[in-house]
Structure 1
Amino acid sequence: MDEHDGGERMRTIGGDHLALREQVLTELRRRIVDGDYAQGERLTENRLADDFGVSRNPVREALRVVEAEGFVQILPRRGAVVATLDETAVRDLFAVREQFETLAAGLAAERATEEDVTRLRNLLKEASAATDAKDFGRVAELNSALHSAVIEISGNRWLASLSAAMYHHVHWVFRVGAAQRAPHSWKEHIRVVDAIAAGDRDAAVEAARAHIEAAATAALPG
């Protein structure tokens, strides 16, 4: 890389712009997941630019990303609106989760170290405390963190790569019903972690499957 006289490193062209877009993207996604922008709510570029205190360019680029991720839809005559978590979308999400998370739990049971198990148990303790405190935003974060940790511990890089985008939607679905699900969810997680700690692949797979089935039942209409 070229340098100025005096040894100062030159700034990469566009670097600040990219960083700004990523900041807008992260905040836009968070506001949708946390319900600050409600399902079906219209999101104009001007409104978002005002909300974030930025120009329209990084907003436009962030909207393209969240549209591709399924958080936003572009509708005729309305423009960008927050997507709706309809029954089909939620069923499809849980169908994929069952495949990913049962595989991850089984592999994690075979590969987890003592340090890995300690990490999972610490997440469980934090989730229990957040549930008792009714801090459901934090519970949702810890829910995603636990599932991501199990996938990481599985050691399967394809699972980690393919599931990254999915977990934004997992967080979204969980956040909607967190107050009802939180007391049950972390107890189901205990079964998964106990099986991983015991190195019992079959038990880990079944505990993960039971957890996904319970979460799907809670998220979907009867």
Structure 2
Amino acid sequence: MAELDAVRPVRTVGADHVALREQVLTELRRRIVDGEYLEGERLTETRVADDFGVSRNPVREALRVVEAEGFVEILPRRGAVVATLDQTAVRDLFAVREQLETLAAGLAAERAQPPGIAALRTLIHQAAAATTAGDLDRVAELNSAFHRTVIDLSANRWLQSMSAPMYHHVHRVFRTGAAHRAPHSLDEHTRLVDAIEAGDSEEATKAARLHVQAAAKAALAQRPTA
């Protein structure tokens, strides 16, 4: 057994290929979420490889992942294209979001500690400043950070793991309507944090539900029908 161990090749977690694949995946996802690659835009392996200055192998692997995540779909005779978020997709997204966020809000009201609540207040203040400055990309980033923090404060590891992929899509939807939604979202976030700080699980759940429903209504108004 010792002899076999001596000759067995060692594959390290930090291998260059793995690192490059993850870098390509992160950047590809970011470009889709931030709208640099538009809905319906064709993403060939060659095109993306040229954009990133890499070979086609890590691009091929990254495209498989973003397809599984719902950011890309494979169409006959076109290949990979950026998925379109029509009204059906948005409704499905917000239906799941409402269930997860209302649960998280109620748990956060029961479990959050002062440092976590302070972190939420800070994110609201930063978002207000970014809104005033018209920095909508920053507003979208802070919006996602706010909701991820509420999830973290729920101290429920299942919620944390299940919601993580969803927030890439939430960020993508919010970003397109940030100019309209930002001021309303700030007010709704403040109400939610007030309830969490008061330890009022019922009010926090209600605030989260109303917030998600308002966000869904705004998102649907901007989206094409299926």
Match of 1:4 in 2: none
Deviation, 1:181, is 0.9
Q: Which runs of 4+ in 1 moved over 6 A?
A: none
Q: Deviations over 1:50-87 (max 9, x none)?
A: 10010001100000000000000011110000000011
Match of 1:221 in 2: 221
Q: How many aligned residue pairs are there?
A: 213
Give the Cα–Cα distance (whole angstroms) in 2 for the partners of residues 186 and 15 of structure 1: 43
Q: 1:70 to 1:13 in 2, by over 3 A?
A: closer
Deviation, 1:16, is 1.0
Is 1:46–2:46 an aligned residue pair?
A: yes
Match of 1:96 in 2: 96
* 2:118 counterpart SS class: helix
Match of 2:6 in 1: none
Give the Cα–Cα distance (whole angstroms) in 1 for the partners of residues 169 and 83 of structure 2: 11
- Could you list the runs of 5+ residues in structure 2 that have no partner in the other structure? 1-9
Is 1:111–2:132 an aligned residue pair?
A: no
Deviation, 1:14, is 7.1
Give the Cα–Cα distance (whole angstroms) in 2 for the partners of residues 18 and 127 of structure 1: 35
Deviation, 1:176, is 1.2
Deviation, 1:12, is 2.5
Give the Cα–Cα distance (whole angstroms) in 1 for the partners of residues 64 and 186 of structure 2: 34
Give the Cα–Cα distance (whole angstroms) in 2 for the partners of residues 70 and 79 of structure 1: 15
* 1:42 counterpart SS class: coil
1:112 maps to a residue whose letter is A
Deviation, 1:13, is 7.6
Could you tell me the TM-score, scaled by structure 1's length? 0.93
RMSD: 1.4
2:168 maps to a residue whose letter is H
Q: Deviations over 1:180-215 (max 9, x none)?
A: 111111111010011101111111001101100110
Match of 1:24 in 2: 24
- Could you list the runs of 5+ residues in structure 1 that have no partner in the other structure? 1-9
Give the Cα–Cα distance (whole angstroms) in 1 for the partners of residues 177 and 48 of structure 2: 26
Could you tell me the TM-score, scaled by structure 2's length? 0.91
